[in-house]
Amino acid sequence: MVDECSEWLSECMKVFPKLGKYVVTARYYRMSKKMLSRIKMYTMGSKDIDVEALLLLGESKSETKVELRGFCQIQINSKLREIENAEVRKQIVQHTMIHDLLYAERKDLKTLGENKKAKQKKAYEEEFEEELFQRFNKLRELNGLPAIKKREDLDLAFSKVLTKLDEKTSQHAKKPETSRTKG
């Protein structure tokens, strides 16, 4: 039997044709409730220089390139399995998968924070979030669902579902108090 994460990942891969040459897996893992997912990319870093600048001008800035080595593993927080409505769970899990796949496609997990000023990081994050929203809507359309018009509405909906899930799991974690009498 194919588990739901693998099935949903294969649907997500339709909006990432560039990643088709890589082996990507997904499954549920136990992790902190603050994390929805994480991706483990097996990468290889290499340095590249401008040969002409080095040989003619005597110096060249080296750039580090990060390349995928053919395998990525997406780990989804196992607490998401507790979302009772399977279609809502699917939408949230696929959104987190798309988020991780977009990072993998850009191959810049290691270099995102390096050598970028605050304004550049903010612009990069805004561009990333917009592309994430567009890819999620594209997947929804491929699955016969209507596109979501506002990114803010999607964020609010996910926030409500996750808050409800946190409340539910915290209630299960509380143990009933026992009364003690002094004697």
Tens-place pLDDT, residues 10-63? 999 999 998 888 889 999 999 987 888 998 877 666 666 777 777 777 777 776
Q: Is 133 helix (H, G, I), strand (E, B) or coil?
A: helix
Q: Which residue has the tokens 């693998």?
A: 6
129-152: pLDDT as tens digits: 999 999 999 999 999 999 999 999
User: What predicted TM-score, i.e. pTM, was given to this entire model?
Assistant: 0.74
In this predicted structure, the answer to whether residue 1 has a pLDDT above a threshold of 50 is no
Give how many domains the chain has, as a whole number: 1
For residue 91, the enclosing domain spans 4-168
Consecutive H or E run containing 42: strand 37-48
In sequence order, the β-bridge partners of residue 65 are: 46
Within a domain: residue 54? yes
The yes-or-no verdict on residue 162 having pLDDT over 80 is yes
Q: Identify whether 178 is part of a domain.
A: no
134-162: buried (b, 16+ CB within 10 Å) or exposed (e) per residue?
Answer: ebbbebbeeeeeeeeeeeeebeeebeebb
How is residue 11 written in tokens?
A: 């649907």
Domain assignment present for 154? yes
Q: Is residue 164 part of a domain?
A: yes
Higher pLDDT, 118 or 153: 153
Evaluate whether residue 175 is within a structural domain. Answer: no
pLDDT at 157: 92
Q: How far is CA 157 from CA 150, 151, 161, 162, 175, in A?
A: 11, 10, 6, 9, 30
Q: CA-CA distance, 30 to 8, in Å (whole number)? A: 19
Determine, yes or no, domain membership for 41.
yes
**Alpha-carbon span 183 to 170, nearest angstrom:** 33
State how far the Cα of 10 lies from the Cα of 101, in Å rounded to an integer. 12
